[in-house]
Structure formats: structure tokens, C-alpha cells
């Protein structure tokens, strides 16, 4: 029998419909934006505790940031050059009563009322580690570097019917700031550790060299450079499709990309290097539900023991 190619969008939509039908995800009417049920959240919380227990000996500093960040900090990164199609800018109304009445008139007459909004001082946060770097601005790192445990909602404007491609989702990250050797060592440690953590849960992830979805013509050269230098690895697993597995974790070596704009230095006066691992909390949950079924009470005992479900 010949192998037939999967209809990937159809498989993605089918899984989305199943998750909504069982109430695990709550449809908002906007593609890629969902409410979550108690069961879904319970799995996320259990997985997070599992990660915390497995990393506690590393004694990471714990920081938590909101899902928004100052526009001035955002503009110090190259996100707007690399991913303009994914960004979210927060605009609000800054006018007086007269302008308000004009905006309401446009609204009621189906004109473009959003033209009357002005940019605020805030952007949606595109990655859990972005708010961290400004907090270390103009500092010299300790000799052993710094290790930070982060978690937060992030935003990427890519509407999709694939439940694993949400517009707003959570990342649990461990970020190191230090020398090139410390950053690379962190990336490699977590790539192996992440694989072990998932395998213990029965999720057969595989590491692959990956790239970010850089925008436009210049993006192609950046993709090639990122792949050639093996700066980004993803742990992938089939969720909706065997042919196109989904990344549920990624390990990135940023070189001095984030430390440079904020003047973060090592003891020897060099610009620091950074690296991170990110666990996609919703994607990990979707992978567990796909593998073991929609009722966590019926999951294998070994998985329930590790997650303390």
C-alpha cells in the first residue's frame, strides 16, 4: 500500500474541534485564542511543578513578568526588524471629549474608529525572556554568570486553526547570562535535560536544528546563518501530524544579541552572551492529551506519578 501524504491543516482542525467539543479548550471566536478548562490548567500546573522539582538543585533566581513590556525596551531588540508580522503594539485613546465623540460616531457608522487611537508606552511581550535583559542593564555579571527561571504569557500574531499555534501562550524558561562558554554549556545541558524530562513522561521528542521565522528577503540569510551556526534546537513531537511534528521546547544560544543593547558585561569587560531553554506549556499539554487521551485520570500510572496528578 502506498504511503499517502497527510492533510496537515485538516488534522490540525480535527484536533482543535475535539479539544473544544470536550471543553478542554474554550473557543473565543478568534483563531488561536482560547480559554482553558480546569483540567487543562491542572495539567499545565502539574508539568510546571515537575520542571521546578527537576531544576531546584540549579538554584535559579526566580522572576515573573507581565505579558507586556515597555516599548523603549522592545525597540532596543531587533524584533521589529525580524518579526514585524508577529508583533503586538498596545494602542489606547488619549483624546479629549470632542475626539471621543468623533471616535464614537465612527464606531456607530462603521468607519475606522481605531485611527483615533495612539500608541501607548507598551508592547505585547513576544518571548518570556525579553523583560529580563533590561533589568540587568549596565551591570557586570558575577563570575559564575546568572541563571534565571521565568514563566509568562507571550503574544505572537499568527492566527491559526492549529491548536498548537496559539496567539497567546505560556513559556517556562531558564535563561543564563554569562561568558560564551557558560551560555553554550547552558544550552547544551538543557537540550539533553529537556529531552530526558520529556522521555520520562513518555513523550518521544527528538532534537532538530531549527530556525526562527525571520521576515522578508533579509530573513532568508538570517535563517541560513542561524541554522549553519546551530544556534537554535527544538524538541519536536507529532501532535496533529507525523509528517510535520510540533516543537514543544526550544533551546537557543543568542550570542551577544540581547546583552549588547543593554550593555551587560562579564567580569573581563566583554559583552555577555545569553542562552535559554523554553518549554511551551500549552504545547506540552496538547502533546500529553494527544498521546494519553483527554482524561488525565486514565493516563499511565508512571506519568501520573511524575506529574503528581
Cα–Cα distance between 209 and 174 in angstroms, integer? Answer: 19
Please name the CATH architecture into which domain 8-88+126-307 falls.
2-Layer Sandwich (3.30)
Instruction: Please report which confidence band the pLDDT of residue 4 belongs to, taking 50, 70 and 90 as the band edges.
Output: low
Q: In this model, does residue 1 exceed pLDDT 60?
A: no
Query: Do the beta carbons of residue 193 and residue 60 sit within 8 Å?
Result: no
Q: How many CB atoms lie within 10 A of CB 166?
A: 24
d(CA 73, CA 126): 12
Average pLDDT over the chain, rounded to an integer: 96
pLDDT in the model for residue 263: 98
User: What's the whole-model pTM score?
Assistant: 0.95
Which residues of the chain form CATH 3.30.930.10?
8-88+126-307
What residues form DSSP beta bridges with 272? none
pLDDT digits (tens, 9 = 90+) for 251-294: 999 999 999 999 999 999 999 999 999 999 999 999 999 999 99
pLDDT of residue 172: 98
Q: How confident is the model at residue 214 (pLDDT cuts 50, 70, 90)?
A: confident
Angle between helices 38-55 and 281-292 (to 10 degrees): 110
Q: Kindly report, residue by residue over 65-97, the tens digit of the pLDDT.
A: 999 999 999 999 999 999 999 999 999 999 999
Task: Centre a 10 Å sphere on the Cβ of residue 282 and count the other Cβ atoms it contains.
Answer: 22
Handedness of CA 300, 301, 304, 309 (dihedral sign): positive
DSSP category for residue 272 = P
Output the CA torsion sign for 50, 55, 59, 63. Answer: negative
| Percentage of residues in the chain having pLDDT higher than 70 | 99
Question: What is the C-alpha radius of gyration for the chain, rounded to an integer number of angstroms?
Answer: 21
Q: What is the pLDDT of residues 153-207, one digit of tens each?
A: 999 999 999 999 999 999 999 999 999 999 999 999 999 999 999 999 999 999 9
Amino acid at each position: 500500500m502506498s504511503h499517502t501524504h497527510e492533510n496537515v491543516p485538516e488534522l490540525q482542525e480535527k484536533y482543535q474541534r475535539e479539544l473544544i467539543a470536550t471543553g478542554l479548550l474554550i473557543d473565543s471566536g478568534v483563531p488561536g485564542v482560547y480559554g482553558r478548562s480546569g483540567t487543562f490548567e491542572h495539567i499545565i500546573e502539574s508539568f510546571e511543578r515537575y520542571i521546578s522539582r527537576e531544576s531546584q538543585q540549579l538554584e535559579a533566581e526566580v522572576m515573573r513578568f507581565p505579558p507586556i513590556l515597555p516599548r523603549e525596551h522592545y525597540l532596543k531588540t531587533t524584533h521589529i526588524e525580524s518579526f514585524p508580522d508577529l508583533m503586538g503594539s498596545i494602542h489606547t485613546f488619549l483624546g479629549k471629549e470632542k475626539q471621543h465623540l468623533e471616535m464614537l460616531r465612527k464606531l456607530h457608522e462603521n468607519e475606522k474608529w481605531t485611527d483615533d487611537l495612539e500608541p501607548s508606552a507598551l508592547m505585547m511581550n513576544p518571548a518570556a525572556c525579553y523583560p529580563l535583559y533590561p533589568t540587568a542593564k549596565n551591570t557586570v555579571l558575577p563570575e559564575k554568570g546568572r541563571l534565571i527561571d521565568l514563566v509568562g504569557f507571550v503574544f505572537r500574531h499568527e492566527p491559526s486553526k492549529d491548536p498548537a499555534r496559539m496567539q497567546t501562550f505560556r513559556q517556562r524558561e531558564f535563561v543564563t547570562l554569562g561568558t560564551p562558554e557558560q551560555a553554550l554549556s547552558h544550552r547544551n545541558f538543557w537540550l539533553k535535560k529537556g529531552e530526558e524530562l520529556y522521555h520520562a513522561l513518555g513523550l518521544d521528542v527528538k532534537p532538530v536544528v531549527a530556525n526562527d521565522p525571520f521576515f522578508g528577503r533579509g530573513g532568508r540569510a538570517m535563517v541560513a546563518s542561524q541554522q549553519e551556526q546551530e544556534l537554535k534546537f527544538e524538541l519536536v513531537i507529532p501532535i496533529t501530524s507525523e509528517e510535520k511534528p510540533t516543537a514543544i521546547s526550544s533551546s537557543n544560544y543568542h550570542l551577544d544579541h540581547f546583552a549588547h543593547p543593554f550593555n551587560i558585561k562579564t567580569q573581563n569587560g566583554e559583552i555577555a552572551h545569553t542562552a535559554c531553554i523554553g518549554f511551551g506549556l500549552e504545547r506540552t499539554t496538547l502533546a500529553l492529551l494527544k498521546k494519553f487521551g483527554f482524561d488525565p485520570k486514565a493516563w499511565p500510572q508512571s506519568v501520573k506519578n511524575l506529574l503528581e496528578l
